[in-house]
Amino acid sequence: MRYTGPRNRLARREGQDLGLKTIASKSHANLLRRLNIRPGQRAHSRYQKYTEYGEQLREKQKLKRIYGLSESKLRNYFDRANRSVGNSAYLLVQQLEIRIDNVLYRLGLAPTRAAARQLVNHGHIFVNNKKCTIPSYEIKIGDVITFKKEKTTKIPYITSMIEKKDTVVPDWLERKATLGKVVEMPSLEDFRDDIDLQAVIEFYSR
């Protein structure tokens, strides 16, 4: 099952901001203050030194939590990448990046992937003028992403995202106001999260 508990707890477990909270929000500020405090009863104990397996496990957990996936879903993505010809790390990242919920986040139309997933689940998103309600839907080159109705842009957090002037959209995407377009497939260089992908591949290859 996908985790539905406190997201700050996940970030504190990894000792890293995983992008699970809206930047500049009170919850995000609280996370930054307590990021080095572990969750649980032994909050002030030192982080243990991990074995090779333990380090691989932690990298896999971070990747799973960043994209908000269940264990079975991430495993399925790895199996698909491993069966295909090419760089397994790149193929895994590509599958994660072309999910519609991630694309909305990368376009700067949602503050977090969880918020983007909610927009999709509630039917606010159109892909090529057709309603999309599946967060794992994989976009293709040339796909156009828009909001279903203009009233969606009146949602306060959506309005603030649209008005932001410093949003950096990756090269494989293009955005004009509330319209996004996929111009090419993402490359491994487009993956900017602090994750050791090779450790994830080695974990699942055991």
**1-41 pLDDT, tens per residue?**
666 666 666 666 666 666 766 665 666 566 666 666 667 65
Q: For 116-120, what is the mean pLDDT?
A: 93
pTM more than 0.75: yes
- In-domain check, residue 2: no
Q: What is the CATH number of the domain that holds 46?
A: 1.10.1050.10
71: domain range? 7-96+193-204
Do 86 and 153 reside in the same domain of the chain?
no
Q: For 187-193, what is the mean pLDDT?
A: 84
User: What are the pLDDT digits (tens) for 168-183?
Assistant: 899 999 999 889 999 9
Give the confidence band of 119 by pLDDT, cuts at 50, 70, 90: very high
Do 15 and 40 reside in the same domain of the chain?
yes
- In-domain check, residue 127: yes
Q: For 54-80, what is the mean pLDDT?
A: 92
Distance CA 3, CA 10 (A): 9
- In-domain check, residue 1: no
